[in-house]
Chain A
Amino acid sequence: MTSTESLIDRRQLSYIAAQAADARLNVELETEGMTLNIGPQHPATHGTLRIIARLDGEQVVWAEPSCGYMHRGYEKLTEVRTYPQVTALVNRIDWLGSFANEVPFILAAEKLMEIEAPPRAQWIRTILFELSRIANVSLFLGDLGVQMGAITPVFMAFRDREYVLNLIEGATGGRFHPNFDRIGGLKDDLPAGFIDETRVVMKKLRNFCDEMENLLFGNEIFQSRTRGIGVIPKDVAMQYGLSGANLRASGVDWDLRRDQTLPMAWNKVDWKVWTHPDGDSYARCWVRLQEVRESTRIVDQLLDDIPSGPVMAKVPRIIKVPEGEAWVSTENPLGEMGYYVVSKGDLGPFRTKIRSASFNNISIVPWVLKGVYVPDIITILASLYFILGDIDR
């Protein structure tokens, strides 16, 4: 008697629960959800990311990113390239900060070969690394505006990024894809006048940051669109393996430039890792803005005491990497980027695993998009800041 009663009770309760769940979705009318495909051809995904969102009105019930539309198979391609050739490939992973992609791979190869670049090469590597970070993140700051409807900041970002790209071009010969890093050092020394010009540009970039802070970050509408939107708590961010500014914006004080000893020049200068306790879209944007400022400071200090000497260590003419495995990751503009290189003692790597930042960063998209409004999808995606080449590789 009691068992049947409780069974009926349970059925009734589950029925009521289902009704209540439905009622939450369909408040008064018999409505049904809508599945919205955002992408692959959508301006907000800057690339070919597709987000499948199940909507209830304007609210997202469920969302999932679907990537792979731009898969180029770089991991596989590295197996049929020699070590010096690989840098030309990995340049194209995060195409806005190309030089930063080369560095961890070269460092991994150097680690296997047990050689180290001379100090001047390390310094120049760090300078170019930070310049590519500035070029990358300053474009992010402009793009952020355009995703929210402010069309002017993006042109300012393009204008000032151009100065940085000119510097990179002057030093390496390539605006977007420098392909400048070599095992054991660099292809060339810095050109004449690079140091003075860089100082001028760094000043311009600091002005640009102030301008952005006035024009965009101080705007009430911008703040109301980003504050409290897309909050990622500290533990969730760590569980999903976020890295870079996305992690630091959730209050985790973690920066591979500082927490790791690599043959680079970051630990020789004085700079600060910025974190933000909020974890919302605004925090992510703000941390990136501060990062550009810190990068200009790093570059300025590195230029002050750049050592003299050769830019290339003694390496054999034909590079054969001894057998072994090495993992090196650096703090790239988008987050932690690492290469796990397996060598069998050949001219090229036997296998390379590329850990790119954006791929892990967008893994949080289903979690963070649940329950937000459609316009917020765009701001959250913009603030998470991914590059499609970095997702799909």
Chain B
Amino acid sequence: MNAALLAADLPYWAQALLRVLGGVVAVLLPAGTIVYVFLFKMMSFMQSRLGPMEAGPYGSMQLFAEVGKWLQKEDITPERADRFIFKIAPLVVLVSTFLLVAVVPFGPDAWFTNFEAGVFYMLAVSSVSVLGILIAGWASANKYSLLGGLRAAGQLIAYELPMVLAVIGVIIQAGTMNLQDIVLAQNAGSMFGWDGLGNPYILTQFVGFIIFMIAVQAELTQTPFDMPIAESELVSGYMTEYSGFRFLTFFIAEFATAGVFSLIASVLFLGGWGIPFAWFGWDTMDSVDNWMNVVGPLIMVTKMMLLSFIIMWVRFSYPRFREDQLQRFAWKVLVPVSLVNIMITAILKVAF
């Protein structure tokens, strides 16, 4: 079954090129869709207004107009900024997104890389963005940016832990860290001996799912955890001094990461590229029919939109936590709850 989409007959360079193109599509397409559907339209409807209506039908070309606007703007570097660091910071943040999407499986053969420690890798590279944010805050030579960068560093590190602990429940249940195998375990598995619905981990790992989504919200620095950005007090925090294309890079990274985290959450908790109750009895990865390589990505995008909707819904309706409150929430609520979740999962795993 290896000769599917990324045909093995192709030379190495062509495969690499295909993967790069696929990666760009997999990052930019969700980002654009999320920005248009949620940031432009859903937010407007929630706030009793129409949103962009002029560029294209229902403003659908607005994003291109915005990109054009940003590209025309002057690329300003503050006088006292650490120039080199200042310039690479947005790229570091974006790189983290691209590294993340590399392990997301979209179908039985539609993946960029598929290796055994996929979950581990995912958790590791997701914290690369902290580095970018921290150096952006420091290099801007701006007090507001510095405050924002430091807040971001503290927050992202604090919420890394509940995220890891929430995923451990999934790993225990699936018995593997390979994301493909986790998908298979959910779709072909059974809950306490009943396999009518497969075993999507959102049901058995519901606590883990909630903790994971909260941690994702914090990792994305979306409201209610947007203290590092905080437009109304820090004036966008670490992004204050960025303009033009560099700001656009931050902007894309923010929403692309939202999309990628939604993809990962759907792989870990919603059964990935399969639908657990419409799974045609495939037992191993090799026995899955080829057409799932086409349907799989569509299913993934649907699930991604669903989860992004929840992320954005919370973002548009909640006020934000204070810095010490969100730290307290992470260490005193999320970490203990996820530890208890791991314990119960482990006990049940041994018992059944």
Does any Cβ of B come within 8 Å of A151's Cβ?
Answer: yes
- The answer to whether residues A221 and B147 also contact, given A151-B47, A375-B322 and a CB cut-off of 8 A, is no
The smallest beta-carbon distance between A231 and chain B, in angstroms, is 16
Contact assessment for A149 and B226 in the assembled complex, using a CB-CB cutoff below 8 Å: yes
Distance A191 CA – B321 CA, assembled complex (angstroms): 47
Contact between chains at A219 and B318 (CB < 8 Å):
yes
Instruction: Name the distance in Å between A205's Cβ and chain B's nearest Cβ.
Output: 15
Which residues of chain A are within 8 angstroms of B319 by Cβ–Cβ distance? 145, 148-150, 216, 219, 221-222, 225
Interchain CB contact under 8 A, B143 and A215: no
CB distance from B150 to the nearest CB of A (A): 9
Residue contact B316 to A148, C-beta cutoff 8 Å: no
Interchain CA distance A350-B119 in the complex, whole Å: 79
Do A375 and B316 touch across chains, with their CB atoms under 8 A apart? Answer: no
- The docked-state distance in angstroms from the alpha carbon of A382 to that of B227 is 17
Q: Is B181 an interface residue (CB 8 A)?
A: no
- Indicate if A224 sits at the interface (CB-CB under 8 A): yes
Residue of A36, A43, A58, A152 touching B47 (CB-CB under 8 A): A152
A147 touching B147 by the CB < 8 A rule? no
Decide if A42 touches B147 in the complex (CB within 8 Å). Answer: no
Within 8 Å CB of B72, what residues of A? none
Task: For B227, list chain A residues within 8 Å (CB).
Answer: 375
Query: With the chains together, A36 CA to B324 CA distance in Å?
Result: 20
Q: Is the CB of A378 within 8 A of B232?
A: yes
Given the contacts A221-B321, A224-B325, A159 and B48 also touching, CB distance less than 8 Å: yes
Q: With A151-B47, A219-B318, A219-B319 in contact, do A374 and B143 touch (Cβ < 8 Å)? A: no
Provide the residues of chain B in CB contact with A147, threshold 8 Å.
Answer: 232-233
| A373 interface hit (Cβ, 8 Å) | yes
B230 at interface (Cβ–Cβ under 8 A)? yes
Contact between chains at A42 and B324 (CB < 8 Å): no
Q: For residue B232, which residues in chain A have a CB less than 8 angstroms away from its CB?
A: 43-44, 146-149, 378
Complex contact B231–A43 (CB within 8 A):
yes
Give bound CA distance, A42 to B236, whole Å.
Answer: 11
* A390 is an interface residue with CB less than 8 A from chain B: no
B230 surroundings in chain A (CB, below 8 A)? 149, 375
Chain A: interface residue total (CB-CB under 8 A): 30
Instruction: Decide: A215 near B317, CB < 8 A? Known: A58-B147, A150-B223, A159-B48.
Output: yes
A291 at the interface (CB under 8 A from B): no
* A residues less than 8 Å from B235 (CB atoms): 42-43
B323 touches A375 (CB 8 A): yes
Partner of A152, one of B143, B144, B317, B324: B317
Known: A36-B143, A221-B224. A374 touches B233 (CB 8 A): yes
**Please, which residues of chain A bring their CB within 8 A of the CB of B147?**
36, 58, 374
Which residues in chain A, 355-385, are within 8 Å of chain B measured between CB atoms?
Answer: 373-378
Interface: A328 (CB within 8 A) = no
Contacts of A375 in B (CB 8 A): 227, 230, 233, 320, 322-323
**Chain B contacts for A36, CB-based, 8 A:** 143-144, 147
Q: Which residues of the partner chain B approach A225 to less than 8 Å between Cβ atoms? A: 319-322, 325
CA distance A183 to B47 in the complex (A): 42
Shortest B214–chain A CB gap in Å is 13
Q: Closest A-chain residue to B48, C-beta based?
A: A159
Assembled-state Cα–Cα distance A145/B316 (Å): 11
- Cβ of B46 within 8 Å of any chain A Cβ, yes or no, is yes
Looking at the assembled complex, report how far the CB atom of A389 sits from the nearest CB atom of chain B, in whole angstroms. Answer: 20
List residues of chain B with CB within 8 A of the CB of A7.
none
CB-nearest residue of chain A to B234: A374
The answer to whether the Cβ of B49 comes within 8 Å of any Cβ in the partner chain is yes
B316 and A151 within 8 A (CB): yes
Q: Do A224 and B323 touch (CB < 8 A)?
A: no
- Is A155 an interface position by the 8 A CB rule? yes
Whether A224 contacts B321 in the complex (CB less than 8 A), given A43-B232, A377-B233, comes out as: yes
Task: State whether A152 touches B223 (Cβ < 8 A).
Answer: no
Please report which residues of chain B, range 209-256, place their CB below 8 angstroms from some CB of chain A when the two chains form the complex: 223-224, 226-227, 230-235
Known: A42-B235, A375-B230. A148 touches B47 (CB 8 A): no
Given that A42-B235, A377-B233 are contacting pairs, would A58 and B223 also be in contact in the complex, using a CB cutoff of 8 Å?
no
Contact A44 to B316, CB < 8 A, known contacts A149-B226, A156-B48, A373-B322: no
| Residue from the set B224, B226, B233, B323 with the largest chain A CB neighbour count within 10 Å | B233
Contacts of B318 in A (CB 8 A): 149-150, 219, 221
Q: Give the top 3 A-B pairs by smallest Cβ distance, nearest first.
A: A149-B320, A155-B47, A148-B319
- Can you list 18 A-B pairs with a CB-CB distance of less than 8 A? A43-B231, A58-B323, A146-B232, A148-B320, A149-B231, A149-B232, A149-B319, A151-B47, A155-B48, A155-B49, A215-B317, A219-B318, A219-B319, A224-B325, A225-B322, A373-B322, A374-B233, A377-B233
Contact surface of B with A, Cβ cutoff 8 Å: 43, 46-49, 143-144, 147, 223-224, 226-227, 230-235, 316-325
Residues of A within 8 A of B (CB): 34, 36, 42-44, 58, 145-152, 155-156, 159, 215-216, 219, 221-222, 224-225, 373-378
